[in-house]
Amino acid sequence: MALIIGSTALHELFPDKVRSPKDFDYFGRETVLPVGIAPADTKIEPFWHDSFEGTQLDRNGFATLDELYTIKVSHAYWELKNGSWDKHMCDILMMQDLGAKLDMDLHKLLYS
């Protein structure tokens, strides 16, 4: 299972409005993806937590706009080590402009 998230999923939804992805983020148990899922020479960043088992995050495909927005909001509370907080805030505002809505059940899962 691999639910594609981050800039790759956002670019899939809005290719004309979103920057080209520099990495390939996904939720999934597998740390090695089948050949052809992620572009060659792309930094692959998997993430999985056992609490995702059996939830909407436990599937194949691309995350929805609301899921991407909720994921982004769920980790916007902290200053990140890579200094990307400003980028995340810009992404949140852009997704709001695109009509994104917060999924409170998903937010609770991600924030807890």
Residue 26 CA to its chain's centroid (Å)? 7
Whole-angstrom distance, CA of residue 26 vs CA of residue 48: 8
% pLDDT > 90, the chain: 59
Q: Kindly state the tokens that stand for 82.
A: 């890579």
- Encode pLDDT of 42-92 as tens digits: 888 889 999 999 999 999 999 999 999 999 999 888 777 777 788 888 999
At residue 85, the pLDDT reads: 81
